[in-house]
Chains A and B, each alone.
Chain A
C-alpha cells in the first residue's frame, strides 16, 4: 500500500477543508456566471446565437451609458471622499482625542443599522416635505431626492453609512505602526506633515489598498440606498448600473442583464487586477 508523505497529506486535508466552500462557489457563483456568459450571446429565451449583437445593443443604449456613467462618477467622487474622510477621523481619534472609543462606536452605528432605516433618515431630511425644505423659503423648496441634488445626497448617504467601517480599518492599521518610528522622526526634527507623509502613509499602504477595494465594492452596492430612496426609476443622476440590471431582470431580459453584468465583471476585474499590480510594485519598491 502506497503511503502519503506529509506534504501530500497536508494537500489532501487542505483540499478536503476547502471542498465545501469551493463547491458552494462553483454552484452559486461560477456555474451561474457561465450560464449568464452563454446567455449573453443568445437571442431571447431561445438558444439562437446572437453573436455580439447583445453587447453592441447594450453598449449603444442610452440607459446603459447613463447608468455606467453615473456609477463611475459615483465611484470617482465617493471613493476618494470616503477614504479621505475616514482617514482624517481615524487620525484624529488616534491622536488621543478624548472619548475616542465612544466616537468609534457612534461612528460605526450607521454601518450596522439596516439600509431602510438609514434611508428613512435621509428621506425625513430631504423629501419635498422634509426638514431641510421646512427651513427654506417656500419659493426655494426643492424635492431634493428627485432633482440633480439626489447625486450629492447619495454620496453623503454612502459616506455616512460606510465611513465608520473604513475608520475602524484605518485605526487598526495605525495601531500596527510602531511608535518608535514616530519618536525617531521627532528626534530628527520632522514636522507633523513629514511624519505623516514619510511614515504613516507608506506603512498604511496595505490598509489603504484593502479600504480602497472595499470602498469600490460598496460603491457598486449603493444601488440599495438609491432604490430605497427613489425607487426603480430615480432621478437620472442616481440611475446606477444595478438599476439597469435589476429592471432588465424584472422585464425578463436576461440577455441585456447578462451583458451588463459581464461588463461590470470585466471592469471590476481589470480595476482589481491593476490595483494588485500597483500594490505589488509599490510593495517591491518599499522593500
Chain B
C-alpha cells in the first residue's frame, strides 16, 4: 500500500475517533424561554385553527405569524411542512394528521417533534383527569408525548332495530370483530331478499376501520415486531374474506350523505358508522321515530374498544418558541375550544359531554330533516348511553394509511381466491417488517 493511501486512511481514522460513541444526551427539561413569537400554518379546512389563533392572541398577547393554506389543495400543507421539516425549520405548531405522506410513528421515532410530557407534568394548571387518557396515549412513543390527539372517532354503529330483526342480526351474539364480520356476511343472503338492499355498511371501503377496530397490533413500535399475533391476524383476515366475498363489490355506493337514515329506512344498508356526533344523533333521532334504533360498538377478542385519533397536534422539536407552542396546544385542548368543534369527538371529557347535550337539544321534532323525516328527541338516559359509549375507548391508535394499503394489497389475492393465505401473509409480514425496520 502506498504511503499516500496509508496516510489518508490514518487521517480518516483519527477524524472518526471523536465521533465514536460520544453522543450528547440532553436532560429532560421544559424550555420556558420567553419569546413574543409563534408561527402556525393553517391547514386545509382549518377554520377552527384560525379561531384558536384569535383566542390565543387575545389571551396571551403574543403575535402569531400565520400562513393560511386552508384554501389550498389538501396536500399543500403536507408538502410544504414536510419539506421545511426536512430543512430543519417550519412552523412551531404542526398538525401531523394533515401530513399525509408521513407515518406518524416514524416521525415520532425520528425526533421531529418535541416531547410534551414534561410540559404537561410540570404545568400546575393542567388537569389530566379532564381528558381521555387512552386517547392521549395514542401520541406516546417510548414514554414521550410527541403527538397530542385533539379528538377521536369511535365506531358506534347505528342501525334500525326492525331492520336488524328482519335480516336476523343480533348484536348479543357478536363477541369480537371476526365474529361481527362473519355474522354480517351470514346476514347478506337474507338482506338480498329485501328490496332496496345494496350493502351492509354505509361506506364501500370499510377495511381500514374494521382492521383498526379489531385491535390487531400489526406493528409493535415498542418491541419493533411486525405481526406479533399470527393467530389473531388469521382469524381477522379469514372473517374479512367472508365479508369481502359476500358483501364487497367495487361499484357499491359510498354514503355521501352526512346522515344515513334515509338509506337505512330504505333497507339500502344496515350499519352506519360516523365520524361526527351530528350524524350519529340525527340518524338515531329519525330511526327512533321509525321503529327504534340500535347502537353498538364492536370490541376485540379481549373485550376492549379501539378508537382512532382524529386531528392531532405537535410542536417542532427545534422550535425556538417551545413554551408559546405548548400554550397553543393547551388552548386547542381547552374545554371551550373543544366544545366548539363539530367533527370527531373531543378528547376533553367535559367538552364531549357538552357537545353531546347540544346534539340532544338540536335533534328534536322541530328540526327540519332532509326528506321530511321527523326526529324524536333522545331521552337523557339515551344520551347518557351515547356519552358512555363514546367514552368507552380502552385503546386508541393513529391511523396509518400506508399500513392499511400495504396489508390490503398483500391480502387482496387471498380475498379474491387467487393466492393462498400463507403466501399473502408471508408477503404482508415481509413488507411490514421492512416498513418497521426502515
Contact = CB atoms under 8 A, between A and B. Distances in A.
B19 A235 contact: no
Nearest to A256: B438
Nearest to B84: A45
B111 A46 contact: yes
A63 B438 CA distance: 6
A51 B317 contact: no
A191 to B, nearest CB: 41
A49 interface: yes
A128 B111 CA distance: 41
Interface string B408-438: 0000010000110000000100110111011
Interface residues of B, number: 35
A47 B318 contact: yes
Interface in A60-88: 61-63, 66
A43 B23 CA distance: 9
B438 A51 contact: no
Nearest to B18: A51
A107 interface: no
Contacts, number: 88
A41 B413 contact: no
Contact of B112 (A45, A53, A146, A250): A45
Interface in A105-146: 128, 143, 146
Contact of B434 (A66, A128, A254): A66
Interface residues of A, number: 34
B317 A46 contact: yes
B22 interface: yes
B185 to A, nearest CB: 25
Nearest to A244: B438
Interface stretch (B101-109, B167-175, B232-240): B101-109
B103 to A, nearest CB: 6
B88 interface: yes
A62 B406 CA distance: 19
A44 interface: yes
A45 B435 CA distance: 21
Contacts of B419: 128, 143
A262 interface: no
Given A247-B438, A252-B85, A44 B101 contact: no
Contact of A252 (B16, B26, B102, B437): B102
A138 B254 CA distance: 35
Given A44-B317, A63-B434, A252 B86 contact: yes
Contacts of A249: 86
Nearest to B88: A45
Contact of A251 (B106, B111, B316, B318): B106
Interface string A230-257: 0001011001000010011111111110
Interface in B202-238: none
A128 B316 CA distance: 45
B82 interface: yes
Interface in B97-150: 101-103, 106-107, 110-112
Interface string B296-318: 00000000000000000000111
A284 interface: no
B20 interface: yes
Contacts of A233: 406, 431, 434-435
